[in-house]
Amino acid sequence: MRYAPILDRLSGLGGAKWDVHFAAVEMKRKGRDVIDLTIGNPDVPAPAALIDRAAEAMRAGRTEYSTGRGEETLRAALAARYARRTGRPVGMDQVLCFPGTQTALYTVIMGVAEPGTEVLVGDPMYATYEGVIRASGAVPVPVPLRSENGFRIAAADIAARITGRSRAILLNTPHNPTGAVLTTEDIDAIGAVAKAHDLWILSDEVYEELVFDGVAFVSPFDRTALADRTVCVASISKSHAAPGFRSGWSVSSADFAERLLPLSETMLFGNQPFIADMTANAIAEPSAVAAGMRTRFAARAKYLDERLAQETALRVHRPEAGMFALIDVTATGQGDRDYAFGLLNESGVAVMPGSAFGGTLKGWVRVALTVDDSRFRAACDRIVAHAAGMAEGERA
């Protein structure tokens, strides 16, 4: 039997990167006490008011078909939100609704890339980025994110990798897995490169509301000179602790949205009306849960940094936003995968190998900040004890 080439392009880019997580799940199933720091699930449930709104909408019959663009109430709420953020008019015709950021990004990339083209993307990157790029037939071009630059993507590094096949720059700010947030200067410099080479800027902004105190969020879409070449995607998954509702969107120029619409409609003809009603309520004002998550995640990252700096040779990269911190494990002499599996098997703490996110993070692991404080402190105790055991073994 014959298969489509897309399946070959995506081979090995799915769940294989999450083997440490799956091993942890299996260990827990068998009764092992495992503290799972691999997945970025919010540490609070979705607000009751949102669940109530979705239930009310279902009971009111809001379970019929939607439009291909998404419900007007939600698109109006999103247009108003982005108009407030940018300080310029944003119309409903610039908004398309999708089941989550992932689907929005997949559709957007399919709309700008094609076989033989290239998409420049920071390395490390969120685990599915390579897949959504390769699905289009395009090739991801990794741009190293340097720890000495706070893991912020640099315009000069992008420019050095541009070819005649380059089609788009994929940004993620705030960034997963590093927690880096691009500055105004970063955005303007990247925008200048995009304009000089006529490139799209695709901006994944799902962590926008999880920026820590003292750090400012900046989007290329908010820069008037870059707006027509920028497409931003986001959702309520992180900001409103509602990943299971799968409610996301894209915001772009009206022309881009119009041209992308038929592709969107062939995948999913609009989102569910009752989820759209809930989402419209959610984004009309600041999230009821985001501020608490920001505070807790920042505090846990600080605690992790201080504990490991004082008691081990491991080095922590403190995030500026998001749900994760990074640990440099090169001092152990082990690679990131060996370290992660050793920590899991010997200490019952599951972390993600950095190499799952790209070559730049070989020698690092990603730690989710999303378990409660007591479990997180226990995880830190185990990481410290594991490091001490490794150091003792080296001395022996």
Segment 149-196, tens digit of pLDDT: 999 999 999 999 999 999 999 999 999 999 999 999 999 999 999 999
Same domain, 223 and 99: yes
Q: Model confidence at 384, in pLDDT bands (50, 70, 90)?
A: very high
Give SS3 for 200: strand
pLDDT of residue 41: 87
| Signed CA dihedral, 370, 373, 377, 379: sign only | negative
Residue 392 has pLDDT above 90, yes or no: no
Segment 303-312, tens digit of pLDDT: 999 999 999 9
Q: What mean pLDDT do residues 376-386 have?
A: 97
Same domain, 203 and 342: no
Same domain, 140 and 273: yes
Q: Model confidence at 134, in pLDDT bands (50, 70, 90)?
A: very high
Q: Is 236 a domain residue?
A: yes
Which domain CATH number covers 297?
Answer: 3.90.1150.10
Q: Is 365 a domain residue?
A: yes
Integer Cα distance of 262 and 260 in angstroms: 6
Q: Is 10 a domain residue?
A: no
Same domain, 233 and 141: yes
> Of the candidates 252, 283, 314, which is a domain's last residue?
283
- Answer whether 360's CB lies under 8 Å from 353's CB: no
Same domain, 27 and 63: no
pLDDT of residue 329: 97
Q: Model confidence at 368, in pLDDT bands (50, 70, 90)?
A: very high
Closest CA to 275 of 10, 58, 2, 20: 58
Write the CA distances from 232 to 217, 251, 300, 340, 373, integer angstroms: 14, 5, 29, 33, 33
Same domain, 357 and 223: no
Which domain CATH number covers 238?
Answer: 3.40.640.10
Exposure class string for 236-253: b at 16+ Cβ within 10 A, else e: bbbbbbbbebbbbbbbbb
Same domain, 307 and 269: no
Same domain, 40 and 53: no
pLDDT of residue 395: 57
DSSP output for 217-261 = ---GGGSGGGGGGEEEEEESTTTTT-GGG--EEEE--HHHHHHHH
Same domain, 74 and 136: yes
Q: Model confidence at 11, in pLDDT bands (50, 70, 90)?
A: confident
**Structural domain for 83, as ranges:** 48-283
Q: Is 103 a domain residue?
A: yes
Q: What are phi and psi of 136, to 5 degrees?
A: -75, -10
> Of the candidates 283, 307, 326, which is a domain's last residue?
283
Same domain, 40 and 147: no
Count: domains in the chain: 2
Same domain, 30 and 85: no
Segment 228-281, tens digit of pLDDT: 999 999 999 999 999 999 999 999 999 999 999 999 999 887 789 999 999 999
Integer-rounded Cα Rg, in Å, for the chain is 21
Q: Is 8 a domain residue?
A: no
Integer Cα distance of 337 and 14 in angstroms: 17
pLDDT of residue 382: 97
pLDDT of residue 14: 65
pLDDT of residue 396: 53
Query: What predicted TM-score, i.e. pTM, was given to this entire model?
Result: 0.94
Integer Cα distance of 366 and 45 in angstroms: 23
Q: What mean pLDDT do residues 95-122 have?
A: 96
Integer Cα distance of 320 and 322 in angstroms: 7
pLDDT of residue 334: 94
Same domain, 197 and 91: yes
The amino acid that residue 233 corresponds to is V
pLDDT of residue 394: 64
- Answer with the residue of higher pLDDT: 269 or 289: 289
Question: Which ranges of the chain would DSSP assign to H, the alpha helix?
Answer: 5-10, 19-29, 48-59, 72-86, 101-112, 129-135, 155-159, 184-196, 254-267, 273-283, 290-311, 336-347, 373-395
Q: Is 3 a domain residue?
A: no
Give, as one character, the DSSP assignment of residue 99.
Answer: S
